[in-house]
């Protein structure tokens, strides 16, 4: 029994280590500091954008898809990004992000369904944004920890990958593109 318990603990530790050090969560902004093209928030999240994406549930299967019309507007270091989503299940949603550049490489982001402030870091061709999001009541009303990574490609397309977690356990992923 003692050997079985030890083996189970080791397996659990290996799974946790893999998840933390060899996965999406293991990357850091420093990994991309020399990558290009340089992501300029006020330039690349400005004007009219379209987004298409998939939402994956906790079992890794697609649970929904969406298209979103987005408009980014900036006045110096202060901006808004209005997102109008239409989901494959027929539902619609609007989110308006309020963005504030704190320095050349950091910013804060708020929205009605965000708890407190999201913290963003710009590094090379990437942005990492971390925040707490509260789901709508029809989706359970849960508050999740979210991490968004946006990767700017050479042709100006932004690829967004997001993970949402509850109590440290991944419950959803999002993969989307954004383009003019």
How high is the pLDDT of residue 180? 94
152's CB contacts (< 8 A; 6+ apart) are 37, 38, 39, 44, 125, 126, 158
Domains parsed from the chain with CATH numbers: 29-179 (2.40.128.20)
58's CB contacts (< 8 A; 6+ apart) are 169, 170, 171, 172
- State the CB neighbour count (10 A cutoff) for residue 164: 21
How high is the pLDDT of residue 14? 61
**What's the predicted TM-score (pTM) here?**
0.86
pLDDT band at 140 (very low <50, low <70, confident <90, very high): confident
- Please say whether the dihedral angle defined by the alpha carbons of residues 55, 56, 57 and 62, taken in this order, is positive or negative: positive
Read off the tokens for 56.
């994956």
């Amino acid at each position: 029994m003692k050997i079985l318990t030890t083996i189970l603990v080791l397996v659990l530790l290996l799974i946790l280590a893999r998840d933390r050090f060899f996965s999406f969560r293991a990357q850091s902004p420093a990994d991309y500091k020399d990558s290009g093209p340089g992501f300029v928030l006020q330039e690349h999240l400005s004007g009219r954008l379209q987004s298409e994406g998939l939402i994956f549930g906790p079992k890794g299967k697609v649970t929904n898809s969406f298209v979103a019309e987005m408009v980014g507007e900036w006045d110096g270091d202060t901006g808004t990004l209005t997102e109008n989503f239409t989901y494959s299940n027929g539902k619609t949603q609007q989110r308006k992000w309020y963005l504030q550049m704190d320095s050349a490489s950091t910013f804060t982001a708020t929205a009605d369904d965000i708890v407190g402030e999201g913290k963003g870091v710009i590094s090379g061709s990437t942005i990492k944004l971390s925040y707490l999001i509260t789901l709508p009541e029809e989706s359970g009303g849960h508050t999740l920890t979210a991490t968004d990574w946006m990767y700017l490609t050479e042709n100006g397309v932004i690829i967004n990958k997001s993970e949402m977690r509850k109590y440290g356990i991944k419950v959803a992923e999002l993969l989307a593109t954004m383009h003019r």
